[in-house]
């Protein structure tokens, strides 16, 4: 009788693990893009999935993340393919190299100096003109103004990894004008 009880408990644990970690991540179609914003946490992400009824037993996923994934979520846009497990998606989100697109955030009130610093610090942006003085940088961008403040539209943008600083700044300028 004890053996049967242990067997039932083991089967139940296996079922819970399988239905949370190894269940296919729910997507529509063969591929879907998943956007992770800066500062988003695994706990919040898992809670959101649970609230949307996309996963069961969020505590199992949180424990798995705590003990098996030793890094934070990285902002970016990730491509989720049909058949990927929830566990695979969680692991993928801890490595920004898996992101398909790079997210550039320009908050209302961001100074030009802050924008340049953010682009310089973003390893996914190819630095070609950021070290130029402002007046030379504006000339390199083909912008007919001497002072850059207020010329770059605040918003959230997505660019391919390795995009040049010149292309990014040019796009932000044209969206503002």
Q: Is 67 exposed, middle or buried (0-12, 13-18, 19+ CB in 10 A)?
A: exposed
Q: Which of 154, 158, 155, 156 is nearest to 102 (CA)?
A: 158
Q: Are 166 and 128 in contact (CB under 8 A)?
A: yes
Round to whole Å and give the CA distance between 17 and 170: 49
Alpha helices in the chain (DSSP H): 2-21, 42-51, 58-68, 86-92, 112-121, 134-141, 165-176
Condensed to tens digits (0 to 9), the pLDDT of residues 38-80 reads 788 999 999 999 999 888 899 999 999 999 998 889 887 888 9
Strands 31-36 and 76-81 turn out to be: antiparallel
Q: What φ, ψ does residue 150 adopt, rounded to 5°?
A: 80, 5
Say what the pLDDT of residue 136 is. Answer: 92
Condensed to tens digits (0 to 9), the pLDDT of residues 1-11 reads 788 999 999 99
For residues 165-177, one letter each, b for 16 or more C-beta atoms within 10 angstroms of the residue's C-beta and e for the rest, the string is bbebbbbbbeeee
Other C-beta atoms within 10 Å of 38: how many?
Answer: 11
pTM of the model: 0.63
Domain residue limits, the chain: 2-98, 101-176
Condensed to tens digits (0 to 9), the pLDDT of residues 81-105 reads 999 999 999 999 998 788 888 888 8
Residue 34, pLDDT above cutoff 90? no
């Amino acid at each position: 009788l004890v053996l049967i009880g242990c067997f039932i408990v083991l089967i139940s644990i296996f079922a819970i693990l399988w239905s949370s970690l190894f269940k296919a991540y729910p997507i529509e179609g063969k591929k879907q893009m998943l956007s992770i914003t800066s500062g988003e946490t695994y706990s919040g992400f898992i809670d959101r999935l649970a609230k949307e009824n996309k996963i069961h037993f969020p505590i199992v996923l949180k424990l798995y993340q705590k003990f098996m994934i030793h890094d934070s979520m990285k902002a970016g846009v990730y491509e989720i393919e049909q058949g990927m497990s929830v566990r695979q998606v969680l692991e993928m989100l801890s490595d920004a190299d898996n992101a398909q697109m790079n997210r550039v955030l320009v908050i209302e009130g961001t100074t030009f100096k802050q924008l340049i610093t953010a682009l310089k610090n973003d390893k996914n942006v190819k630095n070609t003109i950021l070290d130029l003085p402002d007046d030379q940088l504006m000339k390199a961008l083909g912008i007919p103004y001497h002072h850059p403040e207020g010329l770059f539209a605040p918003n959230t943008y997505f660019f391919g990894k390795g995009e040049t600083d010149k292309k990014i700044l040019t796009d932000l300028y044209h969206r503002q004008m």
